[in-house]
Amino acid sequence: MTSSAARVTVPQLEVMKREGRKIVVATAYDFPTAQIADEAGVDVILVGDSLAVVVQGHETTLPVTVEQMLYHTEMVRRATQRALVVGDLPFGSYQQGPAQAIDVSVRFLKETGCDAVKLESGPRQMETIEALVGAGIPVMAHVGLKPQSIRSLGAYRVQRSHNVVDDAKAAEQAGAFSIVLECVSSEIAREATSQLAIPTIGIGAGPHCDGQVLVFHDFVGLTAGRTPKFVKKFADVRSLIRDATAAYCDEVRRGAYPDADYSYE
């Protein structure tokens, strides 16, 4: 690794908001991608339950388990030197209440070495956030579109209700150190960001948030098929990898690889 800077901390994120410095967040799921993100200067790496879709090939985030999230979070934490690492609490791991959430979150911090946990937040999670923070566990809350509630929502839609702002303020009051705003209108995101003392991290929430998060596979162009409107592809890595693999197949089939340069005497 090339980075030698001190690890980003939760209090530093609030300082960045006060100073108007944008916070860069990426979602990564394994050692090599997290290492690349860390070396590139990403401030926060979220090990998202979106790995159920991106890595495992499921249609929703619901199937991923606690054990799988711990496995991936531990890999990511081992890869990083600077970025603050947040483990995502999967569906079913905190909905039963504070005691369950604390038990699972303690496992995240102890077994993976991550710095914080994230949960999808609403009125029913305020007591849980308070309990986690009271137990010394930093919490990133998630409001707006909440993928773990897809069975209730019915579809992934942009959220334009001012309830999003209320949910964000309630999570802040409960002790969350930052708020992910997913798929909300730019105006709602602007309002939430202006009313909160803690950082807002947008994903499909426009330019007014204190920071932005995208999935690593999306912004480097590894994801196949259609991606949401808010995803900007900064590279086309999928094509590069496909071309390299095709060249490998061709050389093996022609007997061109391995030649003497790649063989032992």
Q: What angle do CA 116, 228, 83 make, to 5 degrees?
A: 25
14 as an active site residue: the answer is no
- How many angstroms separate the CA atoms of 47 and 26, rounded? 9
For residue 143, give Cα distances in angstroms to 121, 189, 239: 6, 11, 34
Spatial neighbors of 127 by CB under 8 A, at least 6 apart, are 97, 98, 174
Catalytic residue among 74, 120, 172, 182: 182
Give the three-state DSSP class for 142: strand
Residue 178 corresponds to which tokens in the numbers above? 């930052």
User: Per DSSP, what are the bridge partners of residue 139?
Assistant: 117
Could you give the count of Cα atoms lying within 13 Å of 95 in the half-sphere of its Cβ? 7
Active site residues: 182
